[in-house]
Copies of this chain bind each other. A is one copy, B any other.
Amino acid sequence: MSPTVALDGMGGDRAPAEPVRGALEAAEAGVHVILTGDSQALRRELDAQGHGGGKLIEIVEAPDVIKSDEEGARAVRAKPASSLVVACRLLAEGRARAVVSAGNTGAMMAAATLHLRRIPGVIRPGIAVVVPSARGPVTLIDVGANADTRPEYLPQFALMGRIMAADVLGIPEPRVGLLSIGEEAGKGSELVQAAFAAMDGTPGFVGNVEGRDIPKGLVDVVVTDGFTGNVALKLYEGAGEMLFSEIRGTFERSLRGRAAGLLARPLLRELRHRFNEETTGGAFLLGVRGLVVIAHGNSNGRGIANAIRLAARGVGEGMLEAVEAGLAVPVDA
Least CB separation from A210: chain B residue = B234
Chain A interface main SS type: helix
Given the known inter-chain contacts A239-B236, A243-B275, please indicate yes or no for A231 contacting B254, CB distance below 8 A. no
Q: Which residues of B contact A226 (CB under 8 A)?
A: 181
Q: Say which residue of B242, B250, B267 sits within 8 Å of A256 (CB atoms).
A: B267
Instruction: List residues 218-273 of chain A with CB under 8 A from any CB of chain B.
Output: 224, 226-228, 230-243, 245-247, 250-251, 254, 256-257, 259-261, 263-264, 266-268, 270-271
Given the known inter-chain contacts A231-B232, A232-B231, A263-B260, please indicate yes or no for A148 contacting B215, CB distance below 8 A. no
Is A41's beta carbon under 8 Å from chain B?
no
Q: Report whether A260 and B264 are in contact in the complex, using a CB–CB cutoff of 8 Å.
A: yes
Q: Interface-forming stretch among A5-13, A78-86, A187-195, A280-288?
A: A187-195
Q: Say which residue of B211, B237, B246, B264 sits within 8 Å of A238 (CB atoms).
A: B211
Least CB separation from A146: chain B residue = B189
Interface residues of chain A, those whose CB is within 8 Å of chain B, are: 133-134, 144, 147-148, 179-181, 187-190, 192, 210-216, 224, 226-228, 230-243, 245-247, 250-251, 254, 256-257, 259-261, 263-264, 266-268, 270-271, 274-275
Q: Report whether B236 and A235 are in contact in the complex, using a CB–CB cutoff of 8 Å.
A: yes
Q: Report whether B188 and A246 are in contact in the complex, using a CB–CB cutoff of 8 Å.
A: no
A237 to B236, CA, bound (A): 10
Q: Which residues of B contact A264 (CB under 8 A)?
A: 251, 257, 260-261, 264
Q: Say which residue of B133, B227, B235, B266 sits within 8 Å of A192 (CB atoms).
A: B227
Least CB separation from A106: chain B residue = B182
Q: Which residues of B contact A234 (CB under 8 A)?
A: 181, 210-212
**Cβ-closest 8 pairs across A and B:** A212-B238, A211-B234, A211-B235, A260-B263, A215-B242, A260-B264, A181-B230, A239-B239
Q: Report whether A235 and B250 are in contact in the complex, using a CB–CB cutoff of 8 Å.
A: no
Q: Which residues of B contact A270 (CB under 8 A)?
A: 250
Give the distance to chain B from A77, nearest Cβ to Cβ, in Å: 18
Q: Which residues of B contact A213 (CB under 8 A)?
A: 238
Q: Say which residue of B188, B211, B224 sits within 8 Å of A233 (CB atoms).
A: B211
Least CB separation from A134: chain B residue = B242
Q: Report whether B242 and A216 are in contact in the complex, using a CB–CB cutoff of 8 Å.
A: yes
Give the distance to chain B from A104, nearest Cβ to Cβ, in Å: 12
Given the known inter-chain contacts A264-B251, A267-B260, please indicate yes or no for A133 contacting B242, CB distance below 8 A. yes
Q: Report whether A231 and B148 are in contact in the complex, using a CB–CB cutoff of 8 Å.
A: no
Give the distance to chain B from A331, nearest Cβ to Cβ, in Å: 33
A257 to B53, CA, bound (A): 45
Q: Which residues of B contact A211 (CB under 8 A)?
A: 230-238
